[in-house]
């Protein structure tokens, strides 16, 4: 066992010395600095949480709409299922994701969403990239296409782009890019 030295024979100043006071001040400074950095980290984490909430709101809306969009009296005609667009359809043509997205961003509460990292509306990206800092808080929406039986992977994920047809029951995956630029999966759902 290590033992403390007993300095009883030495001359000692039993109150707090200047060095002690400096140490206490340094300790307070260190605690304040760590607290400050902790608060910075917390604020950044809150931004990630807000981005996740944005993603969750999209998932909730798309999941809910997905249950009724194949019905005749669907509330959101731009997102209606079963409407097959032409093979060379452009973004905005009925039956494409572009038309549905435009409708969502014009008429639903999702249009008011804010990307907390840049204070602008979140945008859809092809992939999250840790090297690209402009992607923080962006949304990644992927179409999960099932692969033939016996394949090594059960499905192939590709970004849902505006010209993609949405006439069929789709399996989607929504992720958001965190502050490090990594994808955080929010949910996989049917649309």
| Residues that bind another protein in the complex, under the rule CB under 8 A | 1-5, 7-8, 12-17, 19-20, 23, 26-27, 30-31, 34-35, 37-38, 40-42, 45-46, 48-49, 52, 130-131, 133, 179-182, 184-185
Shortest reach from residue 48's CB to another protein, in Å? 7
When the beta carbons of 30 and 156 are compared against another protein, the nearer one is 30
Shortest reach from residue 175's CB to another protein, in Å? 11
Shortest reach from residue 164's CB to another protein, in Å? 27
When the beta carbons of 165 and 184 are compared against another protein, the nearer one is 184
Q: Which residue bears the tokens 């990292």?
A: 117
Distance CA 191, CA 176 (A): 18
The pair of three-digit structure tokens given for residue 27, joined into one six-digit string: 């300790």
**Nearest residue to 53 via CA among 137, 141, 173, 157:** 137
The string of DSSP letters for 32-71 reads HHHHHHHHHHHHHHHHHHHHHHHHHHHHHHHHHHHHHTTS
């Amino acid at each position: 066992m290590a033992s403390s030295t007993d300095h009883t024979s030495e001359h000692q100043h039993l109150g707090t010395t200047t060095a002690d006071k400096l140490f206490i001040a340094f300790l307070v400074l260190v605690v304040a600095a760590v607290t400050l950095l902790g608060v910075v980290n917390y604020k950044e984490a809150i931004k990630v949480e807000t981005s996740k909430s944005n993603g969750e709101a999209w998932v909730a809306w798309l999941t809910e709409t997905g249950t009724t969009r194949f019905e005749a009296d669907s509330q959101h005609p731009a997102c209606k299922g079963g409407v097959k667009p032409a093979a060379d359809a452009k973004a905005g043509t009925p039956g494409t994701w572009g038309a549905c997205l435009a409708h969502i961003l014009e008429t639903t509460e999702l249009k008011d969403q804010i990307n907390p990292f840049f204070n602008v509306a979140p945008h859809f990206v092809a992939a999250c990239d840790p090297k690209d800092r402009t992607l923080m808080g962006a949304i990644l929406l992927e179409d999960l296409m099932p692969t033939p039986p016996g394949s090594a992977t059960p499905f192939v994920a590709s970004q849902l782009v505006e010209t993609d047809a949405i006439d069929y029951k789709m399996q989607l995956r929504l992720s958001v890019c965190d502050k490090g630029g990594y994808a955080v999966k929010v949910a996989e759902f049917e649309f």
